[in-house]
A = this chain, B = another copy of it.
């Protein structure tokens, strides 16, 4: 099955928004084993949209159109697409009722009502996060057409909860994918370790990069979900055999989710003492709903005086070794364990750039310490290769801190042997 995406919206052509919708849809299609061959952006222009839809209906088995389902005069996806596909629009009573309920009104404006007009005979895709329903139907040409709303917060749930199940019913086979998330080894060495398994047909194995880390996607196809999953498992086991301690999860997207869950499982608490990451580590931990059961206190000690006042870092250490040193990181972590009463504490100090680097301590030099009140481990990040941004250095330092906590909780080596 060949697919095509048309993203509708002049704001995309003006660069006002990034086309997140296309990536969300593309990822879902990849997980379904559907080949996406074309993805285009069209402005709120009926003629160009009509041409793009006609081209897609002729060359693709599946067309997904995003955007332009709303109540304004710019929203013309449905009428244009339906017309090109040979369907007329009819009023869907249930959708109209839901729109009235949303506005808590007995009647709504014609613009708002427009959203309840859908291609005759289509499968209506309910919108649980906005007013405009989506739809799915098969055009005269045999191409399946799915229309989804533009805002990602509306598109993603509708896609995953309604459109994907719809597509699965059309598939002979079932596709199952698992993502094996890795920290501490880059995409290239990981690909080398798994090289002999990269050309498999079923399951397939593909490497993907994320900021400062990577993951391996295992995908298999079979008659049922259970059979497809069973095809994935031996390869996942093989990956564990070879990459073991570097794997932080299967299908859990981030280190922070894994760490918060493991802390909760073990009934342990973590505190943070941050200098160069400036609150980013605490922010990532508290991004996870329920973090309050494992995280109670963090400090952002951006100046030396703050390190002394909040964390009891001895003045002598700062004077002798400087703020950016193994000794200071160690003292920050140890001080935070005492101050917070938490089981564990992380201390991070470094130079995120772009300024502040010296020859001895260039931009990207970051020390990360983990203390459990008895022992303390320190790792060091040093800059390599091309210049990285301030954001990148801070993100990676926070990730490394989370990985050290993960390793501690699982009894894995926290820092390389000296």
Q: What is the chain B residue whose CB lies nearest that of A354?
A: B289
Told that A290-B355, A297-B299 touch, could you supply 12 new A-B pairs with CB distance under 8 A?
A: A11-B208, A12-B23, A15-B28, A272-B279, A274-B279, A278-B283, A279-B279, A286-B300, A289-B355, A297-B309, A299-B300, A299-B310
Q: What is the chain B residue whose CB lies nearest that of A286?
A: B278
With known contacts A278-B283, A302-B298, A340-B306, A25–B15 Cβ distance under 8 A: yes
Asked if B302 and A292 sit within 8 Å, CB to CB, the answer is yes
Asked if B48 and A29 sit within 8 Å, CB to CB, the answer is no
| A interface residues, Cβ below 8 angstroms from B | 11-20, 22-30, 36-43, 48, 129-130, 153, 206, 208-209, 272, 274, 276-283, 285-287, 289-292, 295-303, 305-306, 309-310, 339-340, 353-355, 386-387, 389-391, 394
Q: Which residues of B contact A26 (CB under 8 A)?
A: 12-15
Pick the most buried of A19, A276, A310, A339: most chain B CB atoms within 10 A of its CB.
Answer: A19
Q: Which residues of B contact A306 (CB under 8 A)?
A: 296-297, 340
Asked if B41 and A40 sit within 8 Å, CB to CB, the answer is yes
Show 10 A/B contacts (Cβ-Cβ < 8 Å), sorted by A: A14-B30, A15-B22, A15-B25, A15-B36, A22-B41, A37-B43, A278-B285, A279-B282, A295-B302, A297-B306
**Alpha-carbon distance between A295 and B310 when the two chains are bound, in angstroms:** 15
Q: What is the chain B residue whose CB lies nearest that of A389?
A: B153
**Alpha-carbon distance between A300 and B287 when the two chains are bound, in angstroms:** 13
**Alpha-carbon distance between A353 and B292 when the two chains are bound, in angstroms:** 12
Q: Which residues of B contact A305 (CB under 8 A)?
A: 296
Asked if A23 and B27 sit within 8 Å, CB to CB, the answer is no
Asked if A18 and B15 sit within 8 Å, CB to CB, the answer is no
* A403, chain B: closest CB distance, angstroms: 19
Asked if A390 and B287 sit within 8 Å, CB to CB, the answer is yes
| Chain A facing B: main interface SS | mixed
Copies of this protein in the assembly total 2
Contact of A20 (CB < 8 Å), options: B18, B27, B42: B18
Q: Which residues of B contact A354 (CB under 8 A)?
A: 289
Q: Which residues of B contact A23 (CB under 8 A)?
A: 12, 15, 17-19
Q: What is the chain B residue whose CB lies nearest that of A303?
A: B296
**Alpha-carbon distance between A27 and B19 when the two chains are bound, in angstroms:** 13
Q: Which residues of B contact A355 (CB under 8 A)?
A: 289-290
**Alpha-carbon distance between A282 and B302 when the two chains are bound, in angstroms:** 10
**Alpha-carbon distance between A225 and B29 when the two chains are bound, in angstroms:** 47
Contact of A298 (CB < 8 Å), options: B38, B279, B285: B279
**Alpha-carbon distance between A17 and B27 when the two chains are bound, in angstroms:** 9
Q: What is the chain B residue whose CB lies nearest that of A282?
A: B279
With known contacts A302-B286, A310-B297, A15–B24 Cβ distance under 8 A: yes
**Alpha-carbon distance between A306 and B282 when the two chains are bound, in angstroms:** 14
Q: Which residues of B contact A386 (CB under 8 A)?
A: 129-130
Asked if B43 and A41 sit within 8 Å, CB to CB, the answer is no
**Alpha-carbon distance between A282 and B280 when the two chains are bound, in angstroms:** 8
**Alpha-carbon distance between A304 and B52 when the two chains are bound, in angstroms:** 57
Q: Which residues of B contact A13 (CB under 8 A)?
A: 26, 36-37, 39
Pick the most buried of A13, A18, A48, A290: most chain B CB atoms within 10 A of its CB.
Answer: A13
